[in-house]
Amino acid sequence: MGLAAIPKPPKLARRALAVAWPVGAAALTGLAAPVIVAGAFHSFVDKRARLFRVSCLGVGLVWVDVRMLMECWKLSLRARGEASPTWEEDHEQVFLAGLNRAMILAKRWVGFEVVLDGRMHFGTEGAPLIAFARHAGPGDSLALAWLLGHTAGRMPKIVLAEALRWDPTVDALLTRMRSYFVPSRSGAGDDRTAGVRALAEGLDGDDVLLLFPEGQNFSLRRRRDLIDRLREAGHELRVRRALQLWNTLPPKTRGVIASLEARPDADVMIVGHAGFGRLTTPAEIWDAIPFTGRPFLVRTQTYAGSQVPNDAAGIEAWIDERWDDIDAWVTAYEGGPEPATGLSSTQHSAPRT
């Protein structure tokens, strides 16, 4: 069961979580203290000091989250029920500062570092930007939001699962920033893209709409499961399409089409990343810590709105081609899976530049 199947918390639970979270964070910190001490002693055995690193990082991230929630409270108290002219901008600064603290902690404790592969083009000044990104590996959503906010100078407007409202900070902060929480499957209704379309229509000239067309983190198991489901449903063309992708899932196109139709004037950034896509289980992540010498490598390609098709069929073909490029690049960097699907490495083209 993925995040898409988890409904948002009831309204009363959301309020209770917001009040209880700082107290819960203090309790978690108390429980983590002996683990940190044990991790420090265990580092004499485990020279990579993984238990010490992870426990320190976990506590640090908890308090980054709590600090952002408390800053949301401060902004609410300052506003006193009246809409402030800088309400959204104030919350955006809280978000960017929190992302920066989280990235500093991740680099300090586990060696997580974002590295650009080539020059990053930020799009036309004064025009909105829509970014379609690969979804794989631990922390990719936060890393890409940080990259777009701090390096590209674009304020991320994020499309994310409604289940993440169980984190009171995410619920409060991203709601006030006009991000879109995709409804769970149990309460989605007929059109789950209406919010994506509305978010795209409301983009300002310095915003970036960040979407993950795959809908879920890549893993070999999910790739196999998707191929099996498509095969059972008789979608042979889609099966062949999925088989040609070794390190990505085929992009879902409804949200892509909705956002591009809503803002044909926007530039479009395609974001690929490599280095962490094969870390899909806790054991694999644990074995890779610290990530020294394993950068979170990001490659971007930016297109003017005039270079992107404006009809649904054209958009679908275009995003499929972009995902072919991403998959070929990632496969060249990370390698392919075991050829259990009947394809050999010789059937995959070299990455296009």
Residue 338 has a CB neighbour count (10 Å cut-off) of 6
Q: What is the DSSP string of 165-189?
A: GGSHHHHHHHHHTT-EEEPPGGG--
Question: Is 77 exposed, middle or buried (CB count within 10 Å of its CB: 0-12, 13-18, 19+)?
Answer: exposed
For tokens 């029920």, the residue is: 81
**E-strand spans in the chain?**
114-116, 129-133, 155-161, 180-182, 207-211, 267-274, 296-303
pLDDT value for 159: 85
Q: What's the token pair of residue 108?
A: 């300090």
For tokens 């009040």, the residue is: 19
What CA–CA distance (Å, rounded) separates 143 from 138?
9
pLDDT value for 11: 86
For tokens 């989250």, the residue is: 65
pLDDT value for 339: 41
What CA–CA distance (Å, rounded) separates 288 from 210?
28
pLDDT value for 167: 94
352, 345, 333: which is closest to 244 by C-alpha?
A: 345
Strands 296-303 and 267-274: antiparallel
What CA–CA distance (Å, rounded) separates 342 from 227?
12
pLDDT value for 84: 75
Answer yes or no: are the C-beta atoms of 297 and 115 closer than 8 Å: yes
Kindly report the pTM of this predicted structure. Answer: 0.87
State how far the alpha carbon of 192 is from the alpha carbons of 80, 181, 320, in Å.
Answer: 34, 10, 21
242: three-class secondary structure by DSSP: helix
Q: What's the token pair of residue 270?
A: 């395609």
State how far the alpha carbon of 163 is from the alpha carbons of 14, 108, 170, 334, in Å.
Answer: 12, 29, 10, 31
Answer yes or no: are the C-beta atoms of 351 and 299 closer than 8 Å: no
pLDDT of the chain, 353 residues: tens digit per residue: 456 667 788 889 998 999 999 999 999 999 999 999 999 999 999 999 999 999 999 999 999 999 999 999 999 888 776 667 888 899 999 999 999 999 999 999 999 999 999 888 888 888 999 999 999 999 999 999 999 998 888 889 988 888 889 999 999 999 888 888 888 665 545 467 888 999 999 998 889 999 999 988 898 888 899 889 888 888 888 888 888 899 999 998 999 999 999 999 999 999 999 999 989 899 999 999 999 989 999 999 999 999 999 999 999 999 999 999 999 999 998 876 654 333 333 233 333 33
Q: In the beta sheet, which residues pair with residue 273?
A: 298
